[in-house]
Every structure is written in C-alpha cells, then in structure tokens.
C-alpha cells in the first residue's frame, strides 16, 4: 500500500513543526505563461511543517483580498539559498532566489475573500528563514481587507458562538474559540432547521467536504477556506443538514463554525445520538484513500480530489445499520511499522492516542457518550507490504513477533476504554491474515472471547483506486460482506 506523497512517513517526521498543507496533486516544476489579471491585495500564510537535515516541507495559504481573479501567480524570494524541489497544488519554478507558483488547473479562480493553498518540499543549507514578502499577480500582499458586497453563496462570515449547540457529532472534536477543530477523516456534523435555507460555516483550505440536505448531497466544497456556504431555495419545511469531511489531511486541523438558518427560518434541536455506535480503526484502506478514482494513476489529479471517507466500507456499513460511527484511520501507518519502514519511532498508535493527529501534546480521552458496541480494527498492511530494510530494528520473523505483541497491547487498551461487552473485530487481508488470526486465537485463549477475526479479502475486489487502493465498488462490496458478518456477532444493540 503506497501512502500519498505529502503524508508519506518516509518523507518527513510525524511530529510537525506547524500546520502544513498538502493538496496532493503531483506537480512538476515548469515554466508557464503569466496570469492575465492582478489582485489588489492578498494575505499569505507560509508555514514550515517539518524540517530535517537539508530538507523541509512547507504549506502556503493564499487569500485574495482584492478583485476576483481567474488565474494567479504568487511570487517571493528566499533569503538563505533555499530551493523548491517539488510542489503540489501549484506549478512552481525558481530562478536564483526568486520563486513563482502559478495556480493548478483546478484552483485558478479566487473570488474576493476566497482562499486556496499549495505545498512543496524544498532544500536548505545553514538556515531556513520564512520569506518576508509575497506578491499575488504582481501586487504586494499586505493582509489588509477591502470591503466587499459579494452576493455569492460562499462568503466570509463569523461563526456562531457555540458551534456544537445545534450540531450532533461523534467524531474526535476539540472545541476552541467558538469552533470545533478536528483532523480525522469522515468527521461529520448534523443539524436540523426549519426554513428555506441554511448556512454551513467552515475554516479549512486543505480538505474537501460534502454538504447534504435531507440525505442528499447538494454541494461538494473543495478546499473551501474560511467560508459560510449557503444552501438556498428549499421548501419552507423542516430539513436535516449534514456536512462531512471527505479527505484525510492529518497534519492540519479543520474548523466547523456551526449552522445558521436562512432569514425567516430557525435552527432546531440537534438530532439525537443513534443508539448504535461503531468505530473503524485502520490505515488508508479504511480512510478511503483514492477510492473515487477510476484509475490507479492519480498523478494528474492528486489523491485528495479522488478520496471520500463517506463512501468507505465503514461509513456505508454504519448507515446500513443506522449507527453513529467514527473513522480513525491514517494512511501509511502500521501497528508497529509504517509503510516501507518510514518515520521510525512512530506508528498508528502514536496518532490514535490524540484527538488532533499532528499535535504531540494532545491526549484524547473518549467522552462518556462514546461507547461503541462494535470496533473494527484493520492494521497490518503497512507493517508487512514491503520487505524489512537494512537498518530497521526487525527481521521478517521478529517483525511478526513485535506486531502480535503490540496488537495485544492495543486490544487491551480498547477493552479498558470500552468495557467487556464491546465486540472487537480484527480485520485482515490475505497478506497478513495468518498472523492477525493468531492474535485473535491468543486473545481468545486468555478468556476474551468477544474479539473476533474477519478476513475481508475477496476475488471480486478490483483495487482500481489510486495506487491500487480499494475503489468505491470495492468499498460497497466490503460493506455488504461486513454487514453480513456483523449479523453473526453476539451484539446486544
């Protein structure tokens, strides 16, 4: 299983130095024509997310504060000899210290107040200071705001004081300054309202979201930035609204600012929690990496634009069973060994202990309202899909021993958190099924008979998602297989 380039454990440490963006489109350095229009003002948020000897990764957020533009070019100068080596979300070129980044084919239009972002890896020697001045289409970015009278349905707006007062969520969410912050894929917020429209307030320039009204998707917001998206023209009645994070950007927290009713309408009490709860734990196969792609090669579009956690086997199964669910999954991570041995010293358990995956100081404690009757764990593909490299602390045999020992410890923590009645399913493919099944056998021998084994492999899986990951057809098949398997379990819900 190949993790996407920006979050590949082999590229940079998991403990980020700051918030990073990665719009996972593979972009080569190239010369392109100059944009035709210039913005009057702009704001740039440049952050070094990680740094190692001779290299670094940076995120650049761009907000247009002037007239709308249909194409853009951001320019700056490096002050210490740094160089851009690879970019995504933009086409970058460099001459000496001067760098220019032109929009990709899908993010050139920026309305007044709209934001986009891109990321890059670079090299440095001696020092890596942040550039001090940027220009968008030739105009220096001062960060000042020009008054706007825009009437588009996506506008900048202040969030409600309590984002979750009228919104139901079961994801790992941190409340801060009137907003709910989160990183895990598939995090969703649900509300109810009476009227002809509703606003959804978000602050996230990196992830994609679906907005759903009465169970149907009415809008997909691609890296929306700080916006309130308005849904209008509905029948004057009671409706449900749901916004769900489609993509996986573990190193940057998105923000949900709440729902707002259209004029003349009102928000109603939040939906009641569902009695059934399921937690899905895993890697990119659980997160929905590249699942909406029709090609295994996603270099032209990037993985994020082809990923939807709300169409994974976990989300589909939960909906089929009428359950609330969490998807706590991260690409490239294993139980003890990450993909190809990358990012040594960390593994999936490092992130799972956190509410916000990239924050090493964040220790997650499940609220008393989250006590899933079923937990499905799928970890092992990254541990075993590549040979052990020279210098790694395992041989092929000792890796199996370490994996089984760590899995037992992980199951012990889950059991302590959720109690003796929760059914825990160890989910595996043929790649590591024998080892995973031994974990379950050993656990059962210790008296914990509510740990079960499920091998999900099936010859009908086409693996047509990005980089041979599961397609949406595969996820539908897996959901059917899992739903049938769940029917055989001793669940009391």
Cβ atoms of residues 39 and 270 within 8 Å: no
C-alpha R_g of the chain = 23
Start-to-end C-alpha separation, the chain: 35
Cβ atoms of residues 155 and 230 within 8 Å: yes
CA separation for the pair 118, 270 (Å, rounded): 36
Residue 202 bridge partners (DSSP): 227, 256
Structure-token match 């080892």, residue found: 435
Taking every pair of C-alpha atoms in the chain, what is the biggest distance, in angstroms?
70
Catalytically annotated residue among 50, 115, 252, 284 = 284
Tokens of residue 148, six digits: 């706007």
- 284 an active-site residue? yes
As to burial, measured by CB atoms within 10 angstroms (0-12 exposed, 13-18 middle, 19+ buried), residue 474 is buried
Cβ atoms of residues 378 and 333 within 8 Å: no
Which backbone phi and psi does 440 adopt, to 5 degrees?
A: -70, -45
CA separation for the pair 48, 252 (Å, rounded): 12
Please, what's the b/e burial string for 62-85 (b: 16 or more CB within 10 A of its CB; e: otherwise)? bbbbbbbbebbbbbbebeeebebe
**Helices assigned H by DSSP within 270-395:** 284-287, 313-321, 348-352, 381-384
Measured in whole angstroms, how far is the alpha carbon of residue 84 from the centre of its chain?
Answer: 25
The CA-atom distances, in angstroms, between 292 and each of 247, 327, 385 are 11, 17, 23
Spatial CA neighbour of 43 closest among 23, 20, 63: 63
What is the rounded (10 degree) CA torsion for 7, 8, 13, 18? -10
Residues designated as active site: 284
């Amino acid at each position: 299983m190949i993790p996407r380039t920006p979050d590949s454990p082999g590229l940079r440490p998991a403990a980020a130095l700051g918030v990073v963006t990665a719009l996972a489109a593979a972009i080569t350095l190239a010369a392109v024509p100059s944009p035709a229009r210039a913005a009057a003002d702009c704001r740039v948020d440049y952050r070094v997310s990680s740094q190692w000897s001779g290299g670094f990764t940076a995120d650049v957020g761009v907000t247009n504060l002037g007239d709308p533009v249909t194409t853009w070019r951001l320019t700056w100068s490096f002050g210490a000899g740094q160089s851009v080596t690879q970019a995504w979300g933009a086409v970058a070129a460099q001459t000496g210290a001067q760098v220019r980044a032109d929009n990709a084919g899908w993010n050139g239009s920026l309305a007044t107040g709209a934001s986009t972002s891109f990321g890059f890896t670079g090299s440095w020697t001696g020092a890596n200071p942040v550039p001090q001045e940027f220009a968008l289409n030739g105009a220096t970015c001062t960060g000042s705001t020009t008054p706007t009278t825009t009437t588009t349905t996506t506008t900048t707006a202040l969030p409600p004081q309590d984002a979750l007062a009228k919104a139901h969520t079961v994801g790992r969410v941190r409340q801060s300054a009137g907003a709910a912050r989160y990183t895990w894929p598939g995090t969703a917020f649900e509300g109810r309202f009476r009227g002809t429209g509703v606003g959804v307030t978000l602050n996230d320039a990196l992830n994609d979201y679906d907005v759903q009204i009465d169970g149907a998707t009415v809008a997909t917001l691609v890296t929306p930035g700080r916006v309130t998206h308005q849904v209008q023209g509905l029948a004057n009645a009671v409706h449900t609204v749901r916004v769900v994070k489609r993509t996986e950007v573990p190193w940057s927290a998105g923000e949900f600012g709440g729902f707002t009713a259209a004029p003349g309408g009102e928000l109603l009490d939040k939906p009641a929690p569902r009695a059934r709860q399921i937690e899905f734990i895993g890697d990119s196969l659980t997160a929905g990496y590249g699942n909406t792609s029709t090609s295994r090669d996603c270099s032209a579009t990037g993985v994020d634009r082809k990923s939807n956690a709300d169409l994974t086997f976990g989300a589909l199964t939960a909906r089929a069973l009428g359950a609330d669910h969490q998807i706590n999954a991260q690409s490239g991570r294993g139980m003890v060994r990450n993909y190809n041995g990358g990012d040594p010293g960390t593994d999936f358990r490092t992130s799972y202990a956190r509410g916000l995956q990239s924050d090493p100081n964040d220790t997650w404690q499940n609220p008393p309202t989250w006590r899933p009757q079923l937990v499905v764990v799928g970890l092992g593909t990254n541990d075993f899909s590549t040979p052990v490299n020279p210098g790694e602390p395992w041989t092929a045999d000792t890796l199996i021993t370490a994996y089984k020992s760590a899995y037992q410890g992980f199951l012990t923590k889950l059991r302590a958190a959720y109690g003796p009645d929760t059914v825990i399913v160890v989910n595996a493919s043929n790649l590591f099924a024998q080892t995973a099944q031994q974990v379950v056998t050993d656990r059962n021998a210790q008296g914990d008979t509510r740990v079960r084994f499920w091998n999900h492999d099936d010859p009908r899986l086409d693996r047509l998602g990005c980089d041979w990951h599961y397609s949406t057809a595969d996820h539908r098949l897996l959901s059917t297989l899992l739903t049938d398997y769940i029917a055989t379990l001793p669940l009391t819900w």
